[in-house]
Structure 1
Amino acid sequence: MAIGRSVGIACAVGAALTSSALAYDAGTVSGGGTIEGTVVFNGVPGTRKIVPTKDVEICGGPREEALIDVGPDKGVRDAVVHLVGVGSGKAWPPASRKPELDNEKCRFVPSVQVIPAGPLDVVNKDPILHNTHGYYGKRTAFNMAQPNQNQAITADLPKAGAVKVDCDAHGWMEGWIYVVDNPYYALTGADGKFSISDVPPGEYDLVVLQSASKPVQQKVTVEASKPTTLAIELKKK
């Protein structure tokens, strides 16, 4: 069982995520292996206090939100596990609908998601103004005012990378969209477990991201038709 090692310099992971020198070539994988395992956090996750200052009839009252959503067995929910720099492999999973980000009760739903590069529908489900603002690092990816309930606007996210989302009208709102350029990714469940299947045999760079934790990057070797099992521990920033 391999143990993930933390990488202290976030820009190294950011560069890996955004590197896409070659377009991804989807095809058939023969003898693919599986990368599976658990992402855990053993420390005190901490919280942030949310104090809505306007539209409280929609947004609700003060509350505490965990910075890292940790289950009873230390598994981390909504950590992104991704192989970077993969030029070819399995086909993308069929999309039942265009990716969507909802403003709902002054929260982003889902708060974390992984999508392929391309369009994203941003929907205001509240009867109040939201101004949804997404950033690649410090650069604006999209910025849209949505004063009307059920108003939908399509944003374009053309490159791989982490996109932080906030609302200029409700400063406590926060969400994350991880844009990927290949289908070898997973979002951990409530137990922190993940599985990435049909990986062509070889050595890869695996990245694990969670917004309040230090990024993790490690080498992983996949053998034909065999599972590779990892235990990855996150550390707070």
Structure 2
Amino acid sequence: MNNNGGLGFTPQTSVNKTIYVEIKPDSLMVRRVGEQDSARIIKADEEGNLEQGYRVRTLEMGPNKGTKVAEEIYNVLSKVQLVKAFSEEKFGQRRMILVFNNMLDDSPNIHVQCTLINDYNSVNGYASSLIDRIPNIKIGKTMDFSTWKMTDKNTGKDRRGITIYQENEKLQSAYYDYVKMERIGDKPSAKQVKKLGKETWDFTPVAEFQLAKFEEFSKALDDYWKNDDKVVAEVLVDEHTDLPF
């Protein structure tokens, strides 16, 4: 054996990977657990020993109705950079994908997905909440990102959104002053229209405005981070079996 004075070669194995999570209607960011771990977690749940950070739920629709699934649950991303934002069509549904990284060595990219356009042809609550804060987001600055859901005590309706902190400041909507409870900025309002003799709301002007802002932001992120290749989102779930709660 040659004496190389301590000089040697250690094969490098990258631990970098991508983690995919989805924002569910209950505001949790969810990652489906693999089959092997799933059986263990479901058993622990049945025995009343479920670990913190996991949940077990039963699918309510589709061919797998009644099947129990195990999921990791999160509600915050801390000290991360938003490095990419884009939309994709999956199963006839337009979805928003946000890619985060904490910029440490070998840290995985975190893909956070949610519905972008809902069944009412308006922007989903979580996506809308993000888009309305885009003018106040500082690209290249670390952020804390979290999701929430609340019930409006006056209307009884559920509201959903995201919270972003940058430089110890909570980012506010660029289009609504929640202190004065009044609209600001140039975001259009939904229009009340009559269809088939029934009064309803047309959110098209709002959705078009927000989608344009999102596309501008997507390009700005790509320009800043020099994103040359299109990031492809993993199909997290079979929409026909996993979306209902």
TM-score range, shorter chain: under 0.3
Higher gyration radius (CA): 2
The higher relative CO (CA closer than 8 Å, separation ≥ 6) is in 1
- TM-score normalised to structure 2 length: 0.22
- Structure number with higher strand proportion: 1
- TM-score normalised to structure 1 length: 0.22
